[in-house]
Structure 1
Amino acid sequence: MLPETTLAEAAGLTMLNGIAVDEYGRTSDPAIWAAGDCASFPLPGDATGARLRLESVGNAIDMAECVAANMLGAAQPYIPKPWFWSDQYDVKLQIAGLNTGYDRVITRPGTGAGISFWYYAGETLLAVDAANDPRAYMIGKRLIEAGRSPAPAVVADPATDLKALL
C-alpha cells in the first residue's frame, strides 16, 4: 500500500516512506503535523535512524490522539503499541508487537489447531504471532505492553500456563 502524500509533497514536506515526522508528529515544517498510516516516524529505541510506517486502524487512532495532544503542548513522544489481526479463511491471525530485530523464534502449540510464534531479541520479547490461538495473542500483547519478557524456555514449555506469566 502506498500512502497518499500528494498534498504533503506539494507543501514541500520531507518524504521517507510516507510523510516523515519526528517522535512527536511534527513534519519538516514545524507548523504541520501528521499522523496515521501516511506518516513514518523514528523507530523507538533504534540508534540507526530506522523509520516505521504502520498501516492499521489501531495505530492511526493511537498516533492521532498522541499528535493532537502534542499540538496542544503535551510534548509526549509517540510510542507505538502495534497490533494487527486478519481473518484468512478458517484462520484468525493476530499479531502483537513488531518482530523487527528478532534473533530467535519460539513456536508454541495452542489448543486445537492453534499455534503461536514468540519473537525474541536476546531475552526481550518483541512480538507474538498467533494463528487460531487468541489466548496466546492476548497474553503476549499484555506482556509486550507491560514491557515484560518471560524467559524463552518458559514460553517454549507446553506445560507452562501462559496466564501465570502475567
Structure 2
Amino acid sequence: MSKNIILTHQEINHKIKRIAYQIYETFVDNEEVVLAGIAPNGYVFAEKIAAELKTISTLKVSLCEVQVDKQKPESAIHTSLTKEEYSNKGLILVDDVLNSGTALIYAVRHFLDVPLKKFKTAVLVDRNHKKYPVKADFKGISLSTSLLEHVHVVFDENDSYAYLN
C-alpha cells in the first residue's frame, strides 16, 4: 500500500489556526484553559494549538501530557498535571487521530473525576470507525476510510503531514 497524503504541512498549519480560533471563541469567558494532549502525537498537536492560542488570545494556556496505554486503555492513565492543577478549569482533550475512540473515551473518563468548567475534545483527523460514543468538538478534517486503511500524522520540525496507507 502506498502513502496518500491527506494533509500537507500548510494545510495542517491552517487547521491548527482554525481550531485555535474555535477554542478561543468557545472559551472566551475563561481566563485559563488546559490543553491535555494524548502522547505522543496528541501532545505535539496540543503544543501547536497552544502556541497559536497564545498569539491570538489573552487566555492563559496550560499544557498537560496524557499517557494512555493504547494496548490496554483500561489501565491507569497518567497526566503531567495534578488533578488540582486542572480542577475547575476549561479543558480540551487533544489527539491527532480519532480512530476507534478507545484512547479518547478512556482519557475522557479519567478527567471526569474532577470538576471542570467546560470539557471539549479536539482532533486533527476524525475517522468514522468509532466503537464508542465519543465525538470531536473541534476537528481539522473528517475522513471516511476503510477499516484496512490507517491514518498517520507526522509532526516534524519543518514538515508536518498526514497520510493514509
- TM-score, L = length of structure 1: 0.24
**Which one has a larger percent strand, Structure 1 or Structure 2?**
2
Which has the higher Rg, Structure 1 or Structure 2?
A: 1
TM-score (norm 2): 0.24
RCO higher in 1 or 2 (8 Å CA, sep ≥ 6)? 2
